[in-house]
Chains A and B, each alone.
Chain A
Amino acid sequence: MIRRGLWGAALAGFVVIPLIAPSFWLTLLDIAGISALIGLGLVLLTGAAGLTSFGQAAFAGIAAYAAAYLITTAGFSPLEALPFSLLAVALAALLLGGVTLRLSGHYLPISTIAWAAAIFYLFARLQVLGGQTGISGIPPISLFGLQLVSGRNCFVLIWACVLCVIVTQNWLLRARAGRAIRSLRAGTLLAESFGIPVFRTRLTAFVYAALLAGLAGWLYLEFIRFLNPSPFDITAGIKDLFVVMIGGAAYPWGAVAGAAILSSLPDVLQAITSGQNENYDLIAYGVIIVLLLQRSRIGLVGALIARFPALRAPAIKVTPSAAALPSRKLPRRGEVLLQAAHVEKWFGGLCAVKDMSFEVRAGEIVGLIGPNGAGKSTMFNLITGAATPSAGQITLCGTDVTGAPPGAAIRLGVSRSFQHVKLLRGASVLENVMIGGHLRGRKGLLAGMFRADRAEEASLAAEAARQLGRVGLADVMHRPAGSLALGPQRLVEVARALCADPVLLLLDEPAAGLRHAEKQELAQLLHALRDAGIAVLLVEHDMDFVMNLVDRLVVMDAGAKLTEGLPGVVQADQRVLDVYLGGVA
């Protein structure tokens, strides 16, 4: 209700403001709108994907200069120049993203500073681009015979763009492509385990953000109708990031709030200091950001939503009657699904896994046990392709996957949970589980932005809800995943793995942190899965739970297989007792 009201207010403002506001305010709002567009790109890049760029102003500059060049020397009209300037930005983003997005977290922001500086100096020095003096005489946009020369007319164009981007971005963030982008924040391992191509997804977010900056650059050119390099310097790029930090990087409206605050800050400060020194604003920006990030990292809109939960985006609707997703044919009972043959893994001089051979067949539950540091989690990573074996062979469902890229396992129907829970804490439980179904959908970015994916989304949501029901979490599916206790969070991971429609389920300590009754329910679920023909391989430390659950045990110690067999036999094995209880030396 409240959200509807606010949207109504925003639309009313969009119509009324250009009619009544004085031109000083319109100019300010136009600047804020342009800044908000750049910020909206960063909401997806930084807020959703967790990547940081200080170079958005450079992308805006590339678009503005490309357009200005085409308009002044090649005789293009402003509207004709727009697609070409966006193309220039996209190419630049593909190039720069291609060389930087494979690097780890902090290299990206530093390198954005460096190439943004390089691009800025290019603008300032290239004589064809006017050098320091710049390019003047840019004609205004003419739309339906109307020349957009005033701040009033530009307001309509700029804020129409802003509102369209907000709407489509809100949809995108909740769609399959948006979930893939958001999943990057939980680390590359999560994304890869569910078949989300990490590099391509990063690049997509990067190009999306660059294109919005490009659109903003083109609007800026047409608003000012004069171009010099200074609005695209590195300080401008830094301020663009501050916009979303102040407003709230996780929310499209955060970009608008931050842009409004930062755009009006110089005027406010000038009023306070009665115009004595216009450079207080740099000091103020810096101090505000430091104080803000020391205290809270959710920004203004984040704080508002935390204070007024009614502002939160409505929960995803679940329609149980939605069409079922295509599902895999389950293998014949007894078919070998996982075969590890003489697998080894060395980390430098340390041998984490040594000559491991074992099998898992359809319709059985196998426990992988061993003391801490025995190499169980490494074995999991080798099976799922998160790590490559140093020697030996791993075959999944009859396909040799040794050395295959991550993502091969999930395509063959092998899904997993993690020892250290990898959930998007701010996203709902349901959305987290929907990530598991990533490969069962196919709608992309554009479909998500324009809601051409409703049928598929409904099917994914229904499937995720069904899996949550199986693990007993149906009543908390709309809560943020971070609000659950650790035990239930592990069950969310189980549901997410199930949502991938697996034939082989790898569970890393699924029962840790569960209460007794919850463990019973989990055991029942795993038995039911086994009876349906799914194979389960699990690492677990709770021996009571394991002994009553599994059909067979593989015991590891110091990277190697100690023994293998029925639970009763293994339990009586003196060597197993020795490694667990500490044998006589």
Chain B
Amino acid sequence: MNPTIAALLIQDGLTSGAIYALIALALLIVFTITRVILVPQGQFVTFSALTFGLLQSGVMPLTAVPVAVMAVIASGLDVATAPPRQRWRTLGDAAWRQLAWPLLLLGVTFYATPAGLGTAGQILFTLAVVIPLGPLMYRVVFAPMADASILLLLIVAVAVDVAMGGLGLLLFGSDGVRTAPLLAVSIPFAGIRIHGAVLLVLGTGALAMLALLLFFGRTLSGKALRATAYNALGARLVGIRVRRAGQLAFILAAALGAVSGILVSSIMTVYFDSGFIIGLKGFIAAIIGGLASYPLAVGGALAIGMIEAFSAFYNSTFQDVIVFSALVPILVVRSLLSPALAEEEPVE
């Protein structure tokens, strides 16, 4: 291996590592706040990548349809669980807060053309349609069973992932998409050319992490989320609404997923079933961080990206085998670090 190839591989590793870091961060946010291990995180990435990809190729994606269906279900749940006297008011609220947005999205879907949106409009529409999937998923699936065990929530998360995989195939078909680079520049550096897409991924990744840092450190909502993650009951006692915290966590997760999706679609071909594998790599990073530490998870994500890039060079056939097997030594270390057998939390 010569320095040029090494530099190229490091560039690849950093790029995919940054994507995995965004996913790992989303997983950590959701897990610490709601105890849900969000397996479908990767689906936000594919939904966003494929929505954006279809728009670029001039086809209007129907992503808004499941958003609208879920919004109707969520409103129905709100009305059904409201006290009888407040049903009408809840319905009014729901119509305004939950149904207006999907209606707007449907309007765009059926009356606008992809070309008419322009690139910026396409990006905005992609974000606008994918991000609501997060809070709606929380409202419909996870909030009604918020007190279930971690294991049960995990099984449900896997079920959601399976359903979204099927839905993705239905909405986007089995063809992969790869979008044109958003930043058509390339800068010579250390004997290689760094492409705009790479800069965009690294820049956006750093920006997103900085934004999260500020959000959790400086804003009241962010601090409320941290309090909920630390102790949900205690947070509730001081007046933090735990359900809103969960909703916010899912908004953040879907937003991180949607942004990653737009970024990732310009550096690799994304298929309807790519999300699970991308998500799984984010998971391994999150596990390196013990499902608790943000910096360790980001470091882990970059390490996974590097392992992936270098194993692609040395043995491309077994690249995925190597990446997923990397979990085993990590678990061995974790297992040796944990002093005693951990207490089991039964499924039910």
Assess whether A130 is interfacial by the CB under 8 Å rule: no
Are B331 and A99 within 8 A (Cβ)?
yes
Assess whether B163 is interfacial by the CB under 8 Å rule: yes
| Chain A count of residues within 8 A CB distance of the other chain | 56
- The CB with the most chain A CB atoms within 10 A, among B169, B280, B324, is that of B324
* Known interface pairs A106-B291, A113-B280; 8 further A-B residue pairs with C-beta atoms within 8 A, sorted by A's residue number: A96-B328, A103-B334, A103-B335, A105-B343, A110-B287, A198-B341, A289-B159, A298-B348
A242 to B164, CA, bound (A): 16
Q: How far is the CB of A420 from chain B (nearest CB, A)?
A: 12
Are A104 and B347 within 8 A (Cβ)?
no
Per-residue A-contact encoding for B235-254, CB less than 8 Å = 1, 0 else: 00000000000000000000
* B residues less than 8 Å from A125 (CB atoms): 317-318, 320-321
A102 to B145, CA, bound (A): 28
Assess whether A280 is interfacial by the CB under 8 Å rule: yes
Per-residue A-contact encoding for B215-228, CB less than 8 Å = 1, 0 else: 00000000000000
Q: Beyond A104-B342, A280-B166, A282-B165, is A121–B321 a contact (Cβ under 8 Å)?
A: yes
Assess whether B338 is interfacial by the CB under 8 Å rule: yes
Assess whether B213 is interfacial by the CB under 8 Å rule: no
Q: Chain B residue with minimal CB distance to A234?
A: B276
Q: How far is the CB of B58 from chain A (nearest CB, A)?
A: 24
Residues facing B in A22-61 (CB within 8 A) are 46, 50-52, 54
Assess whether B345 is interfacial by the CB under 8 Å rule: yes
Assess whether A548 is interfacial by the CB under 8 Å rule: no
Assess whether A286 is interfacial by the CB under 8 Å rule: yes
For this complex, 25 residue pairs linking A to B, each with C-beta atoms less than 8 Å apart, are A46-B347, A50-B344, A52-B155, A100-B335, A105-B345, A114-B324, A115-B328, A117-B277, A118-B324, A185-B344, A189-B343, A199-B341, A241-B155, A279-B170, A280-B166, A280-B170, A282-B165, A283-B170, A284-B166, A286-B166, A290-B141, A290-B159, A290-B160, A293-B145, A293-B156
Q: What is B's interface to A at a CB cutoff of 8 Å?
A: 37, 39, 141, 144-145, 148-152, 154-156, 158-167, 169-170, 276-277, 280, 283-284, 287, 291, 317-318, 320-321, 324-325, 327-328, 331-332, 334-335, 338, 341-348
Q: How far is the CB of A276 from chain B (nearest CB, A)?
A: 10
- The CB with the most chain B CB atoms within 10 A, among A50, A54, A105, is that of A105
* B residues less than 8 Å from A100 (CB atoms): 331, 335
Assess whether A109 is interfacial by the CB under 8 Å rule: yes
Assess whether A235 is interfacial by the CB under 8 Å rule: yes
Are A117 and B160 within 8 A (Cβ)?
no
Q: Chain A residue with minimal CB distance to B31?
A: A106
Q: Please report whether the interface of chain B is mostly helix, strand, loop or mixed according to DSSP.
A: helix
Are A283 and B166 within 8 A (Cβ)?
yes
Name the one of A103, A234, A287 contacting B331, with C-beta atoms under 8 angstroms. A103
Residues facing B in A276-309 (CB within 8 A) are 277, 279-287, 289-290, 293-294, 297-298
Residues facing B in A165-212 (CB within 8 A) are 184-189, 198-199
Are B341 and A102 within 8 A (Cβ)?
yes
Are B163 and A290 within 8 A (Cβ)?
yes
Q: Beyond A286-B160, A286-B164, is A107–B328 a contact (Cβ under 8 Å)?
A: no
Assess whether A245 is interfacial by the CB under 8 Å rule: yes
Are B144 and A294 within 8 A (Cβ)?
yes
Q: How far is the CB of B8 from chain A (nearest CB, A)?
A: 23
Are B331 and A107 within 8 A (Cβ)?
yes
Per-residue B-contact encoding for A58-101, CB less than 8 Å = 1, 0 else: 00000000000000000000000000000000000000100110
Q: Chain A residue with minimal CB distance to B39?
A: A113
A106 to B160, CA, bound (A): 17
Q: How far is the CB of B343 from chain A (nearest CB, A)?
A: 6
Are B318 and A122 within 8 A (Cβ)?
yes
* B residues less than 8 Å from A110 (CB atoms): 37, 154, 283, 287
* B residues less than 8 Å from A241 (CB atoms): 155, 158
A113 to B161, CA, bound (A): 13
Assess whether A378 is interfacial by the CB under 8 Å rule: no
A298 to B161, CA, bound (A): 22
Are A102 and B335 within 8 A (Cβ)?
yes
Q: Beyond A52-B154, A285-B159, A294-B145, is A187–B328 a contact (Cβ under 8 Å)?
A: no
Q: How far is the CB of A100 from chain B (nearest CB, A)?
A: 6
* A residues less than 8 Å from B148 (CB atoms): 293
Residues facing B in A246-285 (CB within 8 A) are 249, 277, 279-285
Assess whether A238 is interfacial by the CB under 8 Å rule: yes
* A residues less than 8 Å from B342 (CB atoms): 102-105, 188
Q: Chain A residue with minimal CB distance to B327?
A: A114
A117 to B155, CA, bound (A): 17
Are B159 and A103 within 8 A (Cβ)?
no
- The CB with the most chain A CB atoms within 10 A, among B154, B291, B348, is that of B348
Are B327 and A115 within 8 A (Cβ)?
yes
Are B166 and A52 within 8 A (Cβ)?
no
* A residues less than 8 Å from B37 (CB atoms): 106, 110
- The CB with the most chain A CB atoms within 10 A, among B148, B162, B284, B334, is that of B162
Are B283 and A114 within 8 A (Cβ)?
yes
* B residues less than 8 Å from A290 (CB atoms): 141, 156, 159-160, 163
Q: Beyond A121-B320, A290-B141, is A50–B170 a contact (Cβ under 8 Å)?
A: no
Are B166 and A109 within 8 A (Cβ)?
no
* A residues less than 8 Å from B161 (CB atoms): 286
Q: How far is the CB of B55 from chain A (nearest CB, A)?
A: 23
A287 to B159, CA, bound (A): 7
Name the one of A121, A235, A283 contacting B324, with C-beta atoms under 8 angstroms. A121
* A residues less than 8 Å from B321 (CB atoms): 118, 121-122, 125
Are A106 and B150 within 8 A (Cβ)?
yes
Name the one of A113, A114, A187, A294 contacting B343, with C-beta atoms under 8 angstroms. A187
A405 to B37, CA, bound (A): 33
Name the one of A99, A105, A184, A283 contacting B163, with C-beta atoms under 8 angstroms. A283
Are B276 and A111 within 8 A (Cβ)?
no
Q: How far is the CB of B234 from chain A (nearest CB, A)?
A: 18
- The CB with the most chain A CB atoms within 10 A, among B169, B283, B344, B348, is that of B344
Q: How far is the CB of A291 from chain B (nearest CB, A)?
A: 9
A189 to B335, CA, bound (A): 18
Q: How far is the CB of A155 from chain B (nearest CB, A)?
A: 29
A50 to B342, CA, bound (A): 13
* B residues less than 8 Å from A121 (CB atoms): 318, 320-321, 324
Are B345 and A286 within 8 A (Cβ)?
no
A234 to B347, CA, bound (A): 21
A215 to B184, CA, bound (A): 55
Q: Chain B residue with minimal CB distance to A296?
A: B348
Q: How far is the CB of B302 from chain A (nearest CB, A)?
A: 18
* B residues less than 8 Å from A199 (CB atoms): 341
Q: Chain B residue with minimal CB distance to A235?
A: B162
* A residues less than 8 Å from B170 (CB atoms): 277, 279-280, 283
A184 to B344, CA, bound (A): 8
- The CB with the most chain A CB atoms within 10 A, among B150, B158, B170, B320, is that of B158
* B residues less than 8 Å from A286 (CB atoms): 159-164, 166
Q: How far is the CB of A48 from chain B (nearest CB, A)?
A: 10
* A residues less than 8 Å from B325 (CB atoms): 115, 118
A125 to B325, CA, bound (A): 14
Q: Beyond A102-B335, A121-B324, A286-B166, is A52–B344 a contact (Cβ under 8 Å)?
A: no
Are B150 and A105 within 8 A (Cβ)?
yes
Q: Chain B residue with minimal CB distance to A286?
A: B163
Q: Chain A residue with minimal CB distance to B334?
A: A103
Q: Beyond A110-B283, A290-B159, A293-B155, is A118–B320 a contact (Cβ under 8 Å)?
A: yes
Q: Chain A residue with minimal CB distance to B284?
A: A114
